[in-house]
């Protein structure tokens, strides 16, 4: 928990500084935040293992020179990640340097995306670090699920070029989307918001859809047990968990924030690429989280982009002096502070997203 606590405090301090007058101070706050986040992740001790994946990825890196590149068949592996391991292995076999290189490829693309396209980039970074979707925040995914975090880095580069070219799928976008997919198979889910580009719906459809997903998810496994059997038949037992710790209350922070964004947005804004990603994040999480919190690994692709929609809504409403936005901001500040204080008190079991 010390990592979460430290990151929370630093990001909040820099966020408060960013609201002071002076463009230079804004830039300094953002750079300090970025350097800190990269160093916290990249220079962690090699014996610090947050979950089982870290050790596995270190072993994959150390053994990369003996691994064969398989592009088809039952033994296929994510080739882009293997090639990267082989390239790094040419110069070093030090896992600390390896972790730092992965952090450099993972975190800065997110920060650059937010800096370029968010009117309140540190608000987006705050959500990136602190907003939990299931078992982890997008930032702390890089401490354990390194391969998927790397795929998210490539996704952010693709989305940067996509938004910068007025939401057109140019060659650069397609190239980095392919690299993303070759880094981690789960990234195929990013095809969905591109397919939904031309669909236009009103804000009340999106809000209703998220509420229905939150409620329906509570009954998904109970009334449709065949879904569990289907997952097991597909040998995807990874997504089935007997120790579920999700409830309607555990979904409320993300649900209320998402509903606020859509409620205060126009129809054109609600149908933007960023808003649709925010919607998809919650619907997927709300419906499937009861099976296992590992579903957050899919939701986080959408959440990274959805943070742009949240930051935009806060910026727009704060400029208008909208009391609702100020109230929502205060609620979430208190909420995340509650998470921090319980952690400092050694009561990690009261961490959010558990059954209350």
Confidence tier at 75 by pLDDT (50, 70, 90): very low
% residues pLDDT > 70 (the chain): 69
Give the DSSP letter of residue 137: -
Confidence at residue 56, expressed as pLDDT on a 0 to 100 scale: 80
- Given a contact cutoff of 8 angstroms between Cβ atoms, the answer to whether 44 and 6 are in contact is no
* pLDDT, the chain, mean: 78
Q: What gap in Å lies between CA 294 and CA 208, rounded to an integer?
A: 25
Q: What gap in Å lies between CA 131 and CA 114, rounded to an integer?
A: 15
Confidence tier at 114 by pLDDT (50, 70, 90): very high
- Which residue pairs, CB below 8 angstroms and at least 24 apart, start in 113-116? 113/156, 113/159, 113/160, 113/304, 113/308, 114/307, 114/308, 114/311, 115/30, 116/160, 116/163, 116/164
**Is the pLDDT reported for residue 41 higher than 80?**
yes
**Is the pLDDT reported for residue 73 higher than 70?**
no
Q: Which of these, 183, 170, 160, 189, lies nearest to 285 by C-alpha position?
A: 189
Whole-structure pTM value? 0.83
**Is the pLDDT reported for residue 355 higher than 60?**
no
* pLDDT tens-digit map of 236-245: 444 444 444 4
Burial code (b: 16+ CB inside 10 Å, e: under 16) for 36-58 equals ebbebbbebeeeeeeeebbeebb
Q: What gap in Å lies between CA 164 and CA 115, rounded to an integer?
A: 13
Work out the burial of residue 321: count CB atoms within 10 Å of its CB; fewer than 13 is exposed, 13-18 middle, 19 or more buried: exposed
Mean pLDDT of 240-264: 69
Collect all residues with Cβ–Cβ distance below 8 Å to 103 and sequence separation of at least 6. Answer: 38, 41, 42, 142
3-state SS, residue 136: strand
**Is the pLDDT reported for residue 116 higher than 90?**
yes
Sign of CA dihedral 23, 24, 27, 28: negative
Strand partners, 136: 133
- Could you identify the residue written with the tokens 């924030």? 257
- Given a contact cutoff of 8 angstroms between Cβ atoms, the answer to whether 66 and 132 are in contact is no
**Is the pLDDT reported for residue 350 higher than 60?**
no
Q: What gap in Å lies between CA 299 and CA 62, rounded to an integer?
A: 30
Confidence at residue 16, expressed as pLDDT on a 0 to 100 scale: 74
Work out the burial of residue 114: count CB atoms within 10 Å of its CB; fewer than 13 is exposed, 13-18 middle, 19 or more buried: buried
**Is the pLDDT reported for residue 283 higher than 80?**
yes
Return the number of other C-beta atoms located less than 10 Å from residue 218's C-beta. Answer: 17
Q: What secondary structure does DSSP assign to 257-323, as a single string?
A: HHHHHHHTS-HHHHTSHHHHHHHHHHHHHHHHTTT-GGGHHHHHHHHHHHHHHHHHHHHHHHHTT-H
Confidence at residue 55, expressed as pLDDT on a 0 to 100 scale: 79
List Cα–Cα distances, 216 to 82, 187, 245, 286, 287, in angstroms.
39, 25, 16, 8, 6
């Amino acid at each position: 928990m010390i990592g979460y606590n430290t990151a929370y405090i630093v990001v909040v301090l820099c966020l408060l500084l960013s609201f002071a007058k002076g463009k230079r101070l804004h830039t300094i706050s953002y750079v300090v935040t970025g350097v800190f986040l990269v160093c916290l992740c990249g220079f962690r001790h090699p014996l610090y293992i947050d979950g089982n994946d870290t050790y596995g990825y270190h072993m994959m890196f150390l053994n990369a020179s003996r691994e064969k590149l398989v592009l088809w068949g039952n033994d296929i592996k994510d080739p882009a990640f293997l090639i990267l391991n082989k390239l790094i292995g040419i110069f070093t076999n030090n896992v600390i340097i390896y972790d730092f290189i992965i952090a450099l490829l993972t975190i800065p693309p997110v920060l650059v995306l937010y800096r370029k396209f968010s009117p309140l980039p540190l608000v987006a970074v705050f959500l990136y670090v602190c907003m939990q979707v299931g078992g982890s925040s997008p930032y702390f995914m890089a401490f354990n699920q390194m391969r998927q975090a790397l795929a998210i880095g490539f996704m952010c580069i693709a989305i940067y070029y996509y938004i910068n070219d007025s939401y057109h799928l140019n060659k650069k976008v397609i190239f980095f989307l392919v690299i993303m997919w070759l880094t981690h198979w789960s990234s195929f889910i990013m095809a969905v918001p591109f397919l939904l580009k031309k669909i236009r719906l009103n804000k009340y459809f999106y809000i209703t859809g998220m509420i229905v997903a939150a409620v329906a998810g509570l009954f998904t496994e109970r009334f449709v047990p065949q879904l569990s059997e289907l997952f097991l038949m597909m040998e995807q037992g990874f997504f089935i968990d007997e120790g579920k710790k999700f409830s309607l209350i555990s979904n409320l922070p993300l649900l209320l924030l998402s509903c606020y964004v859509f409620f205060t947005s126009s129809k054109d804004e609600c149908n933007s690429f960023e808003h649709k990603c925010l919607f998809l994040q919650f619907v997927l999480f709300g419906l499937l989280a009861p099976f296992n919190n590992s579903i957050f690994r899919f939701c986080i692709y959408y959440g990274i982009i959805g943070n742009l929609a949240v930051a935009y809504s806060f910026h727009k409403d704060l400029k208008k002096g909208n009391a609702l936005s100020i109230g929502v901001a205060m609620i979430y500040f208190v909420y995340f502070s509650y998470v921090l204080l319980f952690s400092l008190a050694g009561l990690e079991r009261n961490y959010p997203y558990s059954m209350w």
